């Protein structure tokens, strides 16, 4: 858990940068009044995201809540691993998607949820699913879910806010239009890009730590590594239309659901899977623990 906590100051700085971008865009749009408007809007959005982050993302992906009756094996894995991690059992959701993937959300461990796709349940065996769930529980334990959801909300909002300048240019004099149009065009291009870079930096630092903590929770780093390999291979073949329409949420998933390249740098949405697997291979777990004896993929 110590490695996860070391990332907190950096995360707070990155979120502050996003908020600063938000305010700067507001100033470029309408001067001091625009900056004040953006500041108030950013505060309101953070407040809304804090209380509704789980509902917002789950509703976006059409997730349906599961239970011990509807998915007994999956629920038993979640419950067992949550007990090992000393966490309340999160709510379990199923996303009807052929792309295998998973994410966690919620403002704190008492109001957390884990969502897995139907494609993931079909592709992975029980030990691999346990590795994925343990990774998501690591995010919940460190409250990454709140940080990452707020970041996604602000980063997405900057993209929309950057479109507003052209709504204001039509009301200005011709003397201001030519200069303003150039500034606004720059804002439209650079602001969403800058917000996405900050968002990606937050995600990258979190994934390595969640992999390490998750491996200790499930007791089987090889199973988590195998799951990461299978999920990445499948995401290259299977689209996730909702994620494509909402790229600001891509960093929530265990593997980037969008088409992505192989550069493992500060600005990658996720570290490369090869590097994540390499780190997992160097972990030493004293006593790996079997979650469920069944080793076949789930239907």
Q: Which two tokens stand for residue 284?
A: 């030493």
- Helix 174-218 × helix 8-60 angle, to 10°: 90
Angle (CA) 121-126-127 rounded to 5° is 130
Is residue 270 within 8 Å of 257, Cβ to Cβ?
A: no
- Per DSSP, the three-state class of 160 is helix
Reading phi first (left if > 0) and then psi (alpha if -120 to 50, else beta), residue 263 is in: beta
Catalytic residue among 136, 232, 245, 284: 136
Is residue 57 within 8 Å of 102, Cβ to Cβ?
A: no
Active site residue 245: no
Rounded CA gap, 25 and 158, in Å?
A: 8
Is residue 78 within 8 Å of 92, Cβ to Cβ?
A: yes
Q: Give the residue numbers annotated as catalytic, written as ranges.
A: 136
């Amino acid at each position: 858990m110590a490695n996860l906590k070391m990332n907190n100051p950096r995360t707070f700085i990155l979120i502050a940068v996003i908020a600063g971008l938000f305010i700067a865009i507001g100033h470029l749009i309408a001067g001091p009044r625009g900056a004040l408007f953006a500041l108030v809007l950013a505060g309101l959005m953070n407040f809304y995201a804090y209380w509704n982050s789980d509902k917002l993302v789950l509703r976006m992906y059409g997730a349906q809540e599961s239970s011990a009756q509807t998915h007994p094996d999956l629920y038993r894995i979640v419950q067992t691993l949550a007990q090992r991690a000393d966490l309340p059992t999160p709510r379990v959701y199923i996303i009807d998607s052929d792309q295998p993937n998973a994410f966690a959300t919620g403002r704190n461990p008492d109001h957390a949820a884990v969502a897995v796709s139907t494609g993931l349940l079909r592709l992975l065996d029980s030990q691999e699913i346990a590795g994925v769930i343990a990774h998501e529980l690591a995010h919940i334990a460190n409250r990454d879910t709140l940080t990452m959801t707020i970041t996604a909300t602000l980063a997405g909002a900057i993209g929309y806010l950057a479109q507003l300048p052209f709504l204001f240019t039509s009301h200005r004099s011709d003397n201001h239009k030519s200069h303003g149009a150039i500034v606004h065009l720059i804002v439209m291009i650079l602001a969403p890009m800058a917000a996405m870079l900050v968002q990606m930096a937050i995600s990258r630092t979190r994934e390595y730590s969640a992999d390490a903590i998750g491996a200790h929770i499930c007791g089987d780093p090889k199973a988590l590594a195998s799951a990461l390999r299978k999920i990445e291979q499948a995401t290259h073949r299977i689209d996730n239309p909702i994620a494509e329409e909402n790229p600001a949420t891509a960093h929530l998933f265990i593997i980037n659901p969008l088409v992505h390249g192989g550069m493992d740098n500060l600005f990658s949405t996720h570290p490369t899977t090869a590097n994540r697997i390499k780190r997992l291979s160097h972990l030493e777990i004293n006593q790996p623990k079997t979650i469920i004896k069944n080793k076949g993929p789930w239907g």
